[in-house]
Structure 1
Amino acid sequence: MHHPEFPVVTILSAVFLLFPLPWHWSAGNVSMLSMIFWLFLSNIIYAVDSIVWAGNVNEVAVLWCDITTKIIIGSNVALPAACLSICIHLEQLASVRQATQTQASKRRRQYFELGLCFGLPAFVMALHYTVQGHRFDIIEDFGCRPATYISWPSILLIWILPIILAVLTLGFAACAFMHFMRRRANFAHHLEGRSSLTTTRYMRLILMSIFEMAWGLAITCFALWFATLSYRPWTNWADVHSDWNRIDLYSIVFMPSFLLRDYIIVWWAVPISTWIFVLFFAFGHDAMEGYRAVGLWFQKHVLRRNVGKAGPTNSFSSKPSVR
C-alpha cells in the first residue's frame, strides 16, 4: 500500500462526523444533516476504495463502482448546495424581511433545502450519463472514479455549477454578515422570535460556510484546470458513448509524477472539507454539553446507574439550538 494513511484518515473523518449528528437531527436541520450525510458517504467510499484497490487495479466490486461514482458526482454539488441553503437562511434571518418563524415557514424552508441539498445532486447524478464517456476508471490506491468526457457540456455540469453555487454562497454570507454589522448592538434581540440561534452560533454558521466554500472554490478551480488538460470537442452522442462499457485501469507505476500529485491533491478535498465542518461543530461549547447529556443518558438508561439530575442544558431530550 503506497498510501496507508488514506483509510485511516477517511474512517476517522467519518466517525467524527457522527458526533454532532444527534442535535442536528433533533432540530430538523436539513442543510446541516445533508452536509453530514454527503461527507460521511464520501469518506466511507474513499476508505473502502483505498483498501480494496491498495496496490492493484483489479476489476472487482463493479456494481459498487457504478453506484459510488455517481455518489461522488452528486457530492460535488451537494456540499456547496448545502452551504448555500444555510447562508440563504442566515441572510433571511438577519434581514427585516422575515417575521417571527412559524411551523409552516419552517416546513417550507425544509422542503426548499431538501430540494437543493438532495434533489439537485440527484438531478446532476442522472444528467452525468450524458457526459459519461465510459463506465468508470479504476486508479491504483484511489479506487473507482467517475469517467467524464471532458468537453464544454461536462465542464458546465461538473465544475461550473459547483463554482456558481460556491460564489452564490459567499455572496449570501457577505449579505448576512453586513446585516449583522448593521444590527450588532442589538443583534441577539433581533434574532428572538425568528430563530433559536444565538449570535455566536449565527457567526459560526457563517464562518463555516465561508471556509468551506473558499476551500471548495479553490479545489474545484484546480480540478477544472486539471480536467481541461484532457479537453476534447463535443462531437455527437454516438461518438461520446462509443464503447461505453469500457473500464479504464490506471497503475501508478506508469503514471507521470505530476498527474499522481494532482490526484492526491483532489483526493484530500473530502477529508479537509470534513475537518472544517468538524472543527466548527464537534468541539464547541454546545457539542460538549451534548456529549455530557449523552453520557448521562447512557449511564442512567443503559448502565442503570443513579446519576444526579441534569440541568436544563444537560437534558438529552432538550431541543438543540442550532437554528
Structure 2
Amino acid sequence: MSVPWPVQVDIIAAFSLLGFILVCIPLYWHLEAWNVGCVLYIFWIGTQCLFQFINTIVWRNNAINWAPVWCDITTRFNIGSSIAVCCASLVINRRLYHIANISAVSVTKADKRRNIITDLAIGMGIPILSIAVYWFYQGHRFDILEGIGCVEEYPNSFLAYLLYITWPIPIGLVSATYCTLTLRAFFKRRRDFSTLVASNSNLTFNRYFRLMGLAAIEVLFTIPLAIYNIVQNLTAIPIYPFKGYADLHYWFSRVDQKSAVSWRADPGLVAGMNFKRWTVIGCALLFFLFFGLAEEARKHYRLALSSVAKRVGISTLEKSTGFSSTGSNFKPTTSGFGRITIPTFVQRTTRRGSMDSFSDRLSTNISISDVIDEKATYSPVGSSGSSTYIASPVDTEKGVSPQESLPPVSFPPPPQRAYRPESPTRSEAPDVPASVRPNSIDMV
C-alpha cells in the first residue's frame, strides 16, 4: 500500500527538520577540537536539511513563485552541497592520514594554520567552484515543483557531466586513497597509536575511530551512488545536444511551475527527487549516530539537563533521594532530607556505696541543703524519670556532646516552712520515740 502524496511531503519535512537539529548538536565539540572536516560536514548537510524543510513547508500544496531570490540562493546551494559532502569526507580522511603518520603530525602553529587553510580550500573552495561554473550548463533560472519547492534546472548535456555530475567520483577516489593509507599506517604503527593520539590534545581514541568509520562509510557510498546517479540520468533522460549558449540559454529567465500531478507523472523525475532528498537526510542521521551518541556526547547531555533543572528549580535525582550512586556503592549526600544521623544514647546512673544501702541512717543523712544543691545541678540527662537521652542530630553533626548541648537547669529552693512554737505536731527535739521524749503528747 503506497503512502499518499501529502503524507509523503509531511514525512520529508519532519525528517528534514530532525536531521538539521541532530546534525547541529555536536557542532560545538568539533569547533572546540578544531575538526575542520566535521564542521564543514555539519555546515553543508545541516543547511541543506534546513533549506529542504523550508521549501517543503512553503510549497507543500502550491507551485507559486513566492520568493525568486530565495530560489536563486537555494538552488545554487544545492549544487554546492552535493559536492561539499564528498569534500568534507576528503578533509577528514586527509587529517586522519596525517595523524597516523608521525612525521606529518603538526607541531608548530604555522603547520596547524597551513593545514586549516588547506582543509578550508578543499571543503569550501571546490564547492564554491562548482557553484561558479553552474552557469555554463544551466538551462534556465529554476523550476518550482509542488511539494518540493525550488529545484535547479539544467539539461542532460555533456557539460553537466563534465562540470558537475561526475565530480564525486574523482573526489571519492582521492578520499579512498587517503583512507587506505591511513589504515595501512595504523596497522603498521598500532603499538605507537596511543602516542599519536596523545600528540593531538583535542583527539581521543574513540573519536579517532569514529572519524575513521564515518570517512570509510562515506568513501564506500560516494562512488557507488555517483555511478548510480549517472546511470539513472543516462537511462531516464536523453542526452541534450549542445548547440551553443544561445540555444542553451534561450529564455534564460523563465521559471517553470509544475503541479504534483504533472511532474509526478515522470517516473525518472520522481526517482531522482526521492534519491536527492533522502540522501541528505541519511547523511545527517549517519553523522549523528557516530558523534551524537558517544560517551562525550552523553556527558554533555547530562550537564545540560542538570543546568536546565537547576534553573527551573528542580532538584536532581541524587539530591531528592539523599543518595548518590557510583556503580553499586551508595554514599549519603549532604542534603537535609538524605542526611543519615545515628542517634546517641547516653545513660547516666547515680550509684551509691554498697554499705550505705544497708545503713539505718539513710533517711537522716540527707539535709535540706543537700537537696537544694542536688536540684541546682539538675539536668535532663540525670533525671530519674528517664534513664536515656536521645541527642539531637544538629548537636551530633556539630560535634557537641549531649551534656554540653543543653545548659544546666537550676530550680529555685522550696519555700521554708515558718516555725511556730505553739504547733503541737513538731518540736525542736530530734526524731526519737515518744516514750523517751519529755513533754510529749501521744497521738492515738
- With structure 1 as the length reference, what TM-score do the two structures score? 0.87
Q: Which residue of 240, 246, 250 corresponds with 1:242?
A: 250
Q: Which residue of 2 aligns with 1:7?
A: 13
Compared CA separation, residues 219 and 248, structure 1 to 2 (3 A) = farther
Looking at structure 2, the residues matched to 122 and 57 of structure 1 have their Cα atoms a distance apart, in angstroms, of 28
CA offsets, 1:57-84, max 9 Å, x none? 2222211111100000010111111110
Q: Secondary structure at the match of 2:121?
A: helix
Compared CA separation, residues 82 and 100, structure 1 to 2 (3 A) = closer
Q: Which residue of 2 aligns with 1:173?
A: 179
* Matches for 1:1-323 after TM superposition, within 5 Å: 1-3=6-8, 4-99=10-105, 101-194=107-200, 196-228=202-234, 229-254=237-262, 255-298=265-308
Looking at structure 1, the residues matched to 282 and 168 of structure 2 have their Cα atoms a distance apart, in angstroms, of 17
CA offsets, 1:33-78, max 9 Å, x none? 1111111111011111111222322222211111100000010111
Looking at structure 1, the residues matched to 137 and 267 of structure 2 have their Cα atoms a distance apart, in angstroms, of 27
Deviation, structure 1 residue 146: 0.9
Structure 1 window deviating more from structure 2 (39-48 vs 287-296): it is 287-296
Q: Secondary structure at the match of 2:166?
A: helix
Looking at structure 2, the residues matched to 99 and 25 of structure 1 have their Cα atoms a distance apart, in angstroms, of 20
Letter in 1 for 2:171: L
Looking at structure 1, the residues matched to 20 and 259 of structure 2 have their Cα atoms a distance apart, in angstroms, of 27
8 A Cα contact 1:56 1:140, kept in partner: yes
Looking at structure 2, the residues matched to 28 and 192 of structure 1 have their Cα atoms a distance apart, in angstroms, of 16
CA offsets, 1:260-293, max 9 Å, x none? 2332122211000111111001001121122233
Looking at structure 2, the residues matched to 29 and 134 of structure 1 have their Cα atoms a distance apart, in angstroms, of 38
- Root-mean-square deviation (CA, aligned residues, Å) is 2.2
Letter in 1 for 2:244: N
Aligned length: 307
Deviation, structure 1 residue 297: 5.0
Compared CA separation, residues 80 and 260, structure 1 to 2 (3 A) = same
Structure of higher RCO (CA pairs closer than 8 Å, 6+ residues apart): 1
Structure 1 gaps of 5+ residues are 309-323
Deviation, structure 1 residue 217: 2.9
Deviation, structure 1 residue 181: 1.2
Looking at structure 2, the residues matched to 170 and 284 of structure 1 have their Cα atoms a distance apart, in angstroms, of 25
Q: Secondary structure at the match of 2:63?
A: coil
Compared CA separation, residues 142 and 170, structure 1 to 2 (3 A) = same
8 A Cα contact 1:98 1:194, kept in partner: no
Letter in 2 for 1:253: V
Share of identical aligned residues, percent? 28
Looking at structure 2, the residues matched to 23 and 96 of structure 1 have their Cα atoms a distance apart, in angstroms, of 25
Q: Secondary structure at the match of 1:7?
A: helix
Compared CA separation, residues 96 and 28, structure 1 to 2 (3 A) = closer
Between Structure 1 and Structure 2, the one with more helix by share is 1
Larger Rg: 2
Compared CA separation, residues 140 and 216, structure 1 to 2 (3 A) = farther
CA offsets, 1:188-243, max 9 Å, x none? 12333255423322121111012123333333322222333242122212111111
- With structure 2 as the length reference, what TM-score do the two structures score? 0.65
8 A Cα contact 2:75 2:151, kept in partner: yes
Q: Which residue of 1 aligns with 2:409?
A: none
